Structure 1
Amino acid sequence: MTQKSALAILQTGANVFLTGAPGSGKTHTVRAYIDWLRDHDIEPAIAASTGVAATHIHGVTIHAWSGIGITDHFTPYEIDRIASKEPVAKRIQKTKVLIIDEISMLSGIVLDAVDAVCRHVRGNDQPFGGMQVVLVGDFFQLPPIVRRNFGQSQSYGREEKTTSSFSFESSAWHSLHVVTCYLTEQHRQDDGQFLSLLSSIRAGSFAEDEAALLQERYVTAESLAAEIPRLYTHNVDVDRLNDLQLGVLPGNTRVFTMESSGRAVLIESLKRGCLSPEQLVLKEGAVVMCTKNSSSLGYANGTLGKIIGFEQETSYPIIEMLNERTLAIPPAEWVVEEEGKIRARISQIPLRLAWAVTVHKSQGQSLDAAAMDLSRAFEYGQGYVALSRVRTLEGLYLLGWSARALAVHPLVESHDQEFQAASEAAEELFGELESSGERLLLEHNFIKACGGTLEVPKGGRKKVSASKQNTYEETLVLLKEGKSIEDIVAARNLTFGTICDHLEKLTLSGRLRPEELEKLAPKTLRSHLPAIEKVFVATGFERLAPVFTKLNEAYSYDELKLARALLRSAPSVSPPASR
């Protein structure tokens, strides 16, 4: 299924399981859907199964969102106790759309508990109390880990579990009657051979040709360059190697301490999920990995490099990347946002030591290179997970491997075939609904049921309420005081994207002059503007998603918002702002 088809299905309000191989566009599709919801004044609840995944989507863990925390037992009393918490009840009551990322790592027991809490709070016996639920993930990735005797048989009709369970085995999953959208496009992987190899593992058809490719990537530990990260399954192995390698380097250490603000519980959640440590200890010569994306600075989550010095004025670390390009790395922010407001934020240099990384902590990353030993007794799927962390076959260094390591869980393999068949059937059905006009009717009914705005003027220019006008004025006052965008984000406790929206509105209304806006934009973004302009002119100025895709995700949505504002303010550009 294409991303376009999946998005059209999501817009009908159907409960959806969005899946596909790494690089198929799951995250991009979710972002496009979130943009669409917000365009229609519907604010989704965004959660993930783990803290690491939550930091990638500016959300919280599903455990925190639902209030279940780390509770082991979900009795009727526990469900009632959780549902009685005022913040939890308020949050669940107002939710129209719930998105849960990395569903593969969420056990069926926990999904059932979230379902039970939502039904209880909303007084509605429909699945999750009647909200739209979007489950996102790939079951070939890391599976859930469930302790023995986790869950209680008297809680909500489930038998006691003594082993791990996939979320697709849960009562909640079956009651949702999800529409499966299995994305089949490939946007990340340019290495055809490597993509074919990974696909063969998913399909259970790994054979001699694929084995020969892996054998070509075999290296000895002695011949492996120190700059190549080792991939391990346990934190203790990673910490041991990183500490050892840092200790043998000469020179003094530089310590960068994480800063934070907001609600304490959300700050702790951000810290647990952040790939950069609270105390980042560096030396010249240290092998590091970037933990955030920044197209304006030219690095990505998973970019490798080596510390070659520190800036004299700022003390920011300077890294030399594998392509020999050098770059100073300033602090970055990780935030939890809700309805355009930042509820918590942490700030740290977006680096981590990278002589070694764990498979789990590399979640969501595409590594330039990695060395791994797949010859040990791996669990089902761990070989595939480790291999899929690397961008290309050339970046793969094998210290050993076995056929057992490349086996996938039989239950995942059989269900994957069912998911693919269900996706094909869904695409055919919704294609017919599109042709008859019924899909659009479903979309309109869904927007109305959520209390959203049906009509969105082209260019995203909606009628501005008095409260909105006031918030624009507050931003304008800070701009006139000479504040940067980052200063305004911090001062107003809003997201970068929200401030970019303000800049665009202020520019279009004539309150902010083009030359004033231009001064606010990073120099790198201004230099790339001609190339970005060509794509906007070709695809239109109304939606960012097509531009994001055409530019191969090289720029964030926030950067594209700022670029669009610059282009709309330029005399030489006449985009259709309100036609």
Structure 2
Amino acid sequence: MTQKTALNILKTGANVFLTGEPGSGKTYVVNDYVDYLRRAGIETAITASTGIAATHIGGMTIHSWSGIGIKKKLTKYDLEKIATSEYLVKRIRRTKVLIIDEVSMISADTLTMVEAVCREVKGVSAPFGGLQVVLVGDFFQLPPIVDRQEPAPTDLFLELETIEQSTSHFSFSSPVWPRAGLIVCYLTEQHRQADRQFSAVLSAIRSETVGVLEQEIVASRLVTPNTVPTEATKLFSHNLNVDQINLDKLNKISGSVRIFTMKSEGREALVITLKKSCLSPERLELKIGARVMFTKNNQRLGFVNGTLGEVIGFAKLSGRPIVKTKDGRRIEVESMAWPVEENGRALAQISQLPLRLAWAITIHKSQGMSLDEAVMDLSQVFEFGQGYVALSRVRSLAGLHLLGWNQKAFAVHPQVLSIDRNFCQQSVVGEETFTKMPMVDLQKMQRNFILASGGQWPVKNEADEKSRPVINHQRIKKNKIDTLDETLALWRQDQTLKQIAQKRKLAESTIFSHLERLVLQNQLKPAELKRLPSPVLTKALPKIQTVFKELKTRNLLPVFEKMGGAYSYDDLRIARLLLED
């Protein structure tokens, strides 16, 4: 299926499983669809299976979004507790579209729990409570890590009816998968591996048809430890101390070291999660001659997550590192942000140079990267999909340097192999159905979905979509800054929240979110917001803020519960905003 067809299907509001080989454009389609929904004014929850995946998309983990946390099972009691959490209820009820990235790394039981939470909170019996759900991923990638140990039975657990559990750990084995009526969009275009011969090898692994020819092609890339190219990144199958390996390599380079420290702002718990998940380290040490890898995408400057290069100097004025990439481009690398956003509002963010030392990296952390060149030893591969993930990180056969392999390197999980054939067939049926549909009927479905979700039709700037090759993240960021500046200017003209909302034709809650973000970015001081609360709330502020300090939290729920619900969440939000650190 083409990206265009998949996007048209998504716009109808259908539940979709978006899949395809690495480099087929899954992320591109998701970005396009999210941009479309935002222009339509549709509330979208962007989530992922892991912290690393979540940092790539600027969202949060599905566990955090749904409130299930680290639970392995969900009881009726757990469901009721989640359904009485005001902030979770608000979050889920205002969401119209739920996107879950890297669904291959989510267990069947996790997906079942998330679906149950959505139904319970929405109060709708339809799958996922009537949300449009978009599952994104490739089951040939690394599978979910499942704790085989069941929780010890307790009286409480045995007395309560548990949510339906699955017998398999893959999310497609969840009972909610068929109930959701997912249309499979299996992308078939290839945008990463330009090398047809190499693409054929990867496809053979996916179909379990690796023969003599494919093995000969792979064998042609064998190297010895003495002939390994020094500039290529080494992928490790086991969780070796790659940080120590990289540091040892750095220490062997003569010259002074430059240190770049990560900055953070926002909710402490989210900041901690971001730091753990970010591929760029909290403390980045660089020298001239250091081998580095970009950890973020920037289409304007021409690098992606996985682009390799070498530090060739530091800018005289800014002190920023200058990196020469494999294709000879010189890039002065600026700090970039990894935010956690909810409905356009930044809850927390970290900022660091989008770089990491690149002599070594684990296969797990390489998932989602596109590497120019890599050295790998697949003779120690120990789980299904690990070899395929490592091989598919490289853009071409010429960039592959192989120290060895075992037969497990070409092995795929038999369950995945079987279900993938079904996915391919379902995708063909879906494509035929929608491509044969009259355009007027397709547009009617898309219009009905937008209007039913409370969005604006026609969608703003929709005509520009076809001519836009990629989402310009810099432009989007600039627009966000412009809208914040406008709110800031009006606030400093002594206009009230209501007046600003009316003048800008935005909801008061949106303007309040702007103020929160301005404080987060240190453009506004809490002292400048003293006219925000009502006279009654102003008198109560010391008492409320004392509770925030006693509990050592900036989360609203613990304060709400501690004060017995005496103050609304909106009041607590204002009190938190005025809280001096």
TM-score, L = length of structure 1 = 0.77
Q: Does residue 1:85 correspond to 2:85, yes or no?
A: yes
SS of match in other structure, 1:144 = coil
Alignment of 1:223-242 (within 5 A): 223-242=227-246
Report the CA distance shift for 1:124/1:475 in structure 2 as closer, same or farther (over 3 A).
closer
Q: In structure 1, how many angstroms separate the alpha carbons of the residues matched to 2:85 and 2:347?
A: 18
Please say if 1:209 is aligned against 2:213: yes
Superposition map of 1:529-548 within 5 A: none
Q: Deviations over 1:306-355 (max 9, x none)?
A: 22332333221222322344332121111122333322221101110111
Q: Does 1:221 align with 2:233?
A: no
Q: CA deviation at 1:54?
A: 1.1
| 2:365 match: secondary structure | coil
Give 2:399's aligned residue.
Answer: 395
1:56 aligns with 2:56: yes
The aligned residue for residue 486 of structure 2 is 474
* Equivalent residue number for residue 202 of structure 2: 198
Residues 490 and 446 (structure 1), Cα distance of their counterparts in 2 relative to 1, 3 Å cut: closer
> Post-superposition shift, 1:155?
5.4
Residues 484, 514 of structure 2: 8 Å contact kept: no
Q: Which residue of 2 aligns with 1:31?
A: 31
Does the 8 A contact of 2:250 with 2:287 survive in 1? yes
Specify the code of the residue in structure 1 equivalent to 2:36: W
Which shifted more, 436-445 or 340-349? 436-445
CA pair 354-280 structure 1, distance change in 2 beyond 3 A:
same
Partner of 1:367: 371
In 1, are the aligned partners of 2:378 and 2:403 still within 8 Å (CA)?
A: yes
Do structure 1's residue 255 and structure 2's residue 259 form an aligned pair? yes
What secondary structure is seen at the aligned counterpart in 1 of 2:404? strand
Residue equivalent to 1:376: 380
Task: Check conservation: 1:73, 1:150, Cα contact below 8 A.
Answer: no
Give distance in 2, aligned partners of 1:471 and 1:322. 38
> Conserved in 2, the CA contact under 8 Å of 1:372 and 1:398?
yes
Does the 8 A contact of 2:142 with 2:384 survive in 1? no
1:98, distance to aligned residue in structure 2 (A): 0.3
**Contact 2:237 2:378 (C-alpha < 8 Å) held by counterparts:** no
The separation in 2 between residues aligned to 1:160 and 1:20, in whole angstroms, is 25
Listed one character per residue, the Cα deviations across residues 28-76 of structure 1 (whole Å, up to 9, x for unaligned) are: 1112211222232212111111111111211111111111122234222
Contact in 1 for aligned 2:19/2:138 (Cα 8 Å)? yes
Q: Which amino acid aligns with 1:376?
A: Q
Residue 289 of structure 2 corresponds to residue 285 of structure 1 = yes
2:110 pairs with 1:107: no
Deviation at 1:171, TM superposition (A): 1.5
Aligned residue pairs, count: 474
Matching of residue 336 in structure 1 with residue 340 in structure 2 = yes
CA distance in 1, matches of 2:418, 2:188: 18
Aligned partner (choices 453, 456, 471) of residue 459 of structure 2: 456
Q: What SS class does the counterpart of residue 68 from structure 2 fall into?
A: coil
Q: 2:193 touches 2:199 (CA, 8 Å); kept in 1? A: yes
Q: Which moved more, 1:100-109 or 1:141-150?
A: 141-150
Check 1:395–1:491 CA distance in 2 against 1; reply closer, same or farther (3 A cut): farther
User: Could you tell me which residue of structure 2 aligns to residue 440 of structure 1?
Assistant: 443
- State the match for 1:21 in structure 2: 21
Where do residues 243-322 of structure 1 align in structure 2 (5 Å cutoff)? 243-322=247-326
Distance 1:271 1:22 in 2: 26
Q: Partners in 2 of 1:249 and 1:286 — Cα distance?
A: 8
Change (3 A) 1:391 1:459: closer
- SS of the residue corresponding to residue 236 of structure 1 reads coil
The structure-2 alpha-carbon separation of the partners of 1:352 and 1:360, relative to structure 1 and needing over 3 Å to count, comes to same
Q: Distance in 1 between matches of 2:35 and 2:313?
A: 40
- Identical positions, percent: 52
The match for 2:543 is none
Query: Root-mean-square deviation (CA), in Å?
Result: 2.6
Q: Distance in 2 between matches of 1:51 and 1:327?
A: 28
The 1:149–1:119 alpha-carbon spacing in structure 2 relative to 1, beyond 3 Å, is: farther
Determine the structure 1 residue equivalent to 2:550: none
1:5: which partner in 2? Answer: 5
Q: Secondary structure at the match of 1:221?
A: coil
SS at match of 1:63: helix
Shift of residue 159 of structure 1? 4.3
Residue in structure 2 matched with residue 131 of structure 1 by the alignment: 131
Give the distance between the partners of 1:65 and 1:442, measured in 2 at CA: 29
Deviations 1:334-386 (A, max 9, x none): 11223333222211011101110111212221011111111124211111111
CA distance in 1, matches of 2:177, 2:15: 10
Q: Deviations over 1:379-419 (max 9, x none)?
A: 11111111001111111000001222111111001100000
Aligned equivalent of 2:43:
43
For the residue of structure 2 that corresponds to 1:357, the secondary structure is: strand
SS in 2 for 1:344: strand
The structural deviation recorded for 1:491 is 9.3
Matched, 1:68 2:68: yes
Contact 1:52 1:363 (C-alpha < 8 Å) held by counterparts = no
CA distance 1:473–1:230, shift in 2 (3 Å):
closer
Q: Displacement, 1:252?
A: 3.2
Cross-structure match for 1:522: none
Distance across 2 between alignment mates of 1:145 and 1:184: 28
Specify the alignment match of 2:475 in structure 1.
none
Cα displacement string for residues 156-214 of structure 1 (whole angstroms, at most 9, x for unaligned residues) = 443476xx610000012122121111111122221111111111111111111111111
Amino acid paired to 2:69:
G
Separation of aligned partners in 2, 1:362 and 1:118:
32
Contact 2:45/2:343 (8 A) holds in 1: no
Unaligned runs of 5+ in 1: 462-467, 479-488, 495-579
Does the 8 Å CA contact 1:289/1:352 hold for their aligned counterparts?
A: yes
Residue 283 of structure 1: how far off its partner (Å): 2.4
Q: Do the aligned partners of 2:237 and 2:381 also contact (CA within 8 Å) in 1? A: no
Does 303-312 or 419-428 show the bigger shift?
A: 303-312
Distance 1:322 1:42 in 2: 41
Q: Secondary structure at the match of 2:449?
A: helix
Q: Summarize deviations over 1:529-573 as a string: whole Å, max 9, x none.
A: xxxxxxxxxxxxxxxxxxxxxxxxxxxxxxxxxxxxxxxxxxxxx
Which amino acid is 1:441 matched to?
K
> 1 CA distance for matches of 2:89 and 2:377?
47
Which residue matches 2:469?
A: none
Range that drifts further, 141-150 or 67-76: 67-76
Within the alignment, does 1:327 sit opposite 2:339 as a pair?
Answer: no
8 Å CA contact 2:40–2:457 kept in 1: the answer is: yes
Contact 1:60 1:269 in 2 (8 A): no
* Residues 113-133 of structure 1 deviation map (CA, whole Å, 9 limit, x = unaligned): 111111111122221111110
From 172, 181, 188, the equivalent of 1:184 is 188
* Stretches of structure 2 lacking an aligned partner (at least 5 in a row): 152-156, 465-479, 491-512, 519-581
CA distance in 2, matches of 1:96, 1:459: 20
C-alpha separation between the residues in 2 aligned to 1:429 and 1:330?
A: 47
1:460: how far off?
A: 7.6
Decide whether aligned partners of structure 1 residues 447 and 282 sit closer, same or farther in structure 2, where only a CA change above 3 A counts: same
Residues 420, 410 of structure 1: CA spacing in aligned structure 2 closer, same or farther, 3 A cutoff?
same
Deviation, structure 1 residue 6: 1.2
C-alpha separation between the residues in 2 aligned to 1:404 and 1:187? 27
Does the CA-based 8 Å contact 2:367-2:389 persist in structure 1?
Answer: no
